[in-house]
Structure 1
């Protein structure tokens, strides 16, 4: 599978009148801080003029701009302009009037591909500051991924998605992403030519803790997987979503296992041809660097909700079982179990990409807990009010990722010009 790597650049912005000794110390100190934060970006050097700033950010997919000194306001504006739409994270730090310069420049940039973060310490042992930078850069990378993303839409959005729809123009205007339309016939042709190996069939079948479907269904479900992989490579997609219920009607199998495997491998794949949810998956996958799960909020009660679907990534859980697809009884659906107490983040874009709703919580129960819902059921206790999902609906389908990524999503929302709505 082809992986397209984003080019991240680090630049320092300083007034030309500041002493070189201080700037050299800051660059060394910040380099050490970056290492402790686990952040890897290419150091492009120091800019003391708008011309230098423009030269340093050429060819970058995203930029970390460290405000080294005061008197650098024009340099901050120059970097953002020269980045030509590439997201920029402005990093202010506690020394040499860095924060005053950032505060003066930022009001002219807010909502324009930028986010601002202030680090109150550059001591690598400062857990809070390290976490803040790590989260902000993760959000920066997530926004950059969307700005350059190619989203594959195979077929048409499911007819019941009466609200959760977007257009090629809206996706391009709001996020900079490209929607690639692909006919179902292309998927079917690739399925007809695909032949899963016996080793792959055995690995999936015998890797399950329990199996509640005939073994013969697994190869057919894996043909969908192989066909989708081929489409992702052929069209150079960053994410894909498929009209899976049409697949059930016309081919008698489901995409559940295929989507589970793709998301386990880091290939973002959504179901029901739901583009806004697939975009949310791509963002949350990028900031979390892990598999993500798109599902239905099926029960909401106080601070608890149950999210359920048949497509959960195998790699996300401690064990998985194979079942039929919930609604149709066909194909292969997936049920996974997570450790109780696992921290998770949930998120959803509205179809206009103007609101990014997020929440953090803890998994209390998971697995196939009821035969009256999709095969993976996650009971999550949110830190906030789950009832708002019902009272202030922005549509169905929420995305789940392991870990707490709300601060990263805050930075991404700032860059994308979306309002962050925390449950």
Structure 2
């Protein structure tokens, strides 16, 4: 696991076609060990809509999603375990291991300390986090007795005060993600603060010898270091198995048909459901003939354009139709039981069907807590889903231009306005540039905002992560 972005940063995966100048920070690469370890496969499917009417599809859909935001991520369940020993004195021989916990009283005091720290972590976490009851173990047999508790956990934090390798081996066999916490100065020093590298990680060799753990899975003293690992694992857990609708089918920028979507299903276990444009067109036509739906779209468009910092520079009808399209997409996601959607053919195919571009619609959905991407580009979509699930904030799918002098321009037409997850940034509502049609937001991104950007590779083997700062938000 490598350290992800600060939760105060705005996330943004980078990729494909033509909002701001970004000053680059140090380049990092993201490890995929924890995120992509589980391999599975599901077949591409379709969302059955043949006999589904707009009336039945829209039943119960909240027409004002921005007023009903809720935490969309499933809580990460964490089981803390204190591994320790209470040795018995022996004459004229070494009878205790190195470390500051040697008695049951000292172990009980440490258990109380850990509980206090976990309580503080839960209050500080800005992501859904659940700690299971803390357990103390003095041998591997006691781990066997925790079978049910371990089965309920996503992650185990091993407070490695004492004990030996057999306990770690037993925990490895559960298949759970493991984080090893060792004390140096935050309390009684732990045995494994001294020996976790040579004894466990390197297995008495000069090289990392484990498949399921590496140096980044060890935390010394720092609660902040512990928190970001839990945050990233929460993002990973919520990303694996994502169900997503692909209007017009899944695709990948400049890649052979089908290859990348299949790879995404294998690596990330994505469940991709296709909605054909024929079905979408039929549903939009039915929605357009729904007086109540059109009235809602008109009302919401009027209210949106009255928001502070919002300037209309295209035809109002495009904006109204974008709100109708948003309600259609919300209904489709409800039908599929998901909160993610992407559109193939957004540069042309959808425009005569929706009588607008999809740009503003996708921006609205992202601000409302959904995951909405243009182009059905599954090279980059997993990065966007992961960043949103780590940060709990909207992501900006963008096209990186050629970097120069530490500056890179990130361009696209679907930027959310709540880039920090809270504040609605000013925006000009224009036409989509390439078509000069529809409604697209030109978001005036805040200068000085720190952002995290991910550039995925086509083969899903190595991602490049960079931290940057918004320097300006120019207009093409």
Taking the aligned partners of 1:209 and 1:168, their CA distance within structure 2 comes to 37
Deviation at 1:137, TM superposition (A): 1.2
**2:428 aligned partner:** 321
What is the CA deviation profile of residues 178-200 of structure 1, one whole-angstrom value per residue up to 9, with x for unaligned ones?
33333333433443344251431
Q: How does 1:23-34 map to 2 (within 5 A)?
A: 23-34=107-118
Taking the aligned partners of 2:212 and 2:240, their CA distance within structure 1 comes to 13
Taking the aligned partners of 1:148 and 1:92, their CA distance within structure 2 comes to 33
**2:317 aligned partner:** 216
Query: Does the residue aligned with 1:213 lie in a helix, a strand or coil?
Result: coil
Residue 190 (structure 2) pairs with residue 89 (structure 1): no
Aligned with 1:303 (options 406, 409, 420): 406
Query: Does the residue aligned with 1:11 lie in a helix, a strand or coil?
Result: strand
Tell whether the 8 Å contact from 1:295 to 1:309 is kept in structure 2 after alignment: yes
Residue 331 (structure 2) pairs with residue 242 (structure 1): no
What is the CA deviation profile of residues 191-230 of structure 1, one whole-angstrom value per residue up to 9, with x for unaligned ones?
3344251431222222253110111111211122112212
Deviation at 1:306, TM superposition (A): 0.4
Tell whether the 8 Å contact from 1:54 to 1:78 is kept in structure 2 after alignment: no
| Distance of aligned partners of 1:299 and 1:370 in 2 relative to their CA distance in 1, 3 Å threshold | farther
* Greater fraction strand: 1
Deviation at 1:357, TM superposition (A): 1.1
Tell whether the 8 Å contact from 1:64 to 1:91 is kept in structure 2 after alignment: no
Give the structure-2-normalised TM-score. Answer: 0.68
| Distance of aligned partners of 1:235 and 1:99 in 2 relative to their CA distance in 1, 3 Å threshold | farther
* Greater fraction helix: 1
Q: How does 1:273-312 map to 2 (within 5 A)?
A: 273-312=376-415
| Distance of aligned partners of 1:140 and 1:277 in 2 relative to their CA distance in 1, 3 Å threshold | same
Where structure 1 has 5 or more consecutive residues not aligned to the other structure, the ranges are 122-128, 372-423
Tell whether the 8 Å contact from 1:11 to 1:46 is kept in structure 2 after alignment: yes
Aligned length: 359
**1:419 aligned partner:** none
Aligned with 1:200 (options 281, 300, 315): 300
Residue 341 (structure 2) pairs with residue 257 (structure 1): no
Aligned with 2:193 (options 78, 81, 99): 99
**1:173 aligned partner:** 266
- The CA RMSD over aligned residues, in Å, is 2.9
Taking the aligned partners of 2:374 and 2:168, their CA distance within structure 1 comes to 41
Deviation at 1:287, TM superposition (A): 1.5
Tell whether the 8 Å contact from 1:343 to 1:360 is kept in structure 2 after alignment: yes
Deviation at 1:133, TM superposition (A): 2.0
Taking the aligned partners of 2:216 and 2:463, their CA distance within structure 1 comes to 18
Aligned with 2:157 (options 65, 75, 86): 65
Larger Rg: 2
Deviation at 1:249, TM superposition (A): 5.1
Query: Does the residue aligned with 1:224 lie in a helix, a strand or coil?
Result: helix
**1:43 aligned partner:** 132
Tell whether the 8 Å contact from 2:160 to 2:190 is kept in structure 1 after alignment: yes
What is the CA deviation profile of residues 121-163 of structure 1, one whole-angstrom value per residue up to 9, with x for unaligned ones?
3xxxxxxx23322221111111112223223322235675337
The structure whose RCO (Cα within 8 Å, separation 6+) is larger is 2
| Distance of aligned partners of 1:302 and 1:155 in 2 relative to their CA distance in 1, 3 Å threshold | same
Deviation at 1:297, TM superposition (A): 0.9
Taking the aligned partners of 1:183 and 1:75, their CA distance within structure 2 comes to 53
| Distance of aligned partners of 1:151 and 1:337 in 2 relative to their CA distance in 1, 3 Å threshold | same
Query: Does the residue aligned with 1:350 lie in a helix, a strand or coil?
Result: coil
Deviation at 1:63, TM superposition (A): 0.9
**1:388 aligned partner:** none
Aligned with 2:166 (options 74, 80, 83): 74
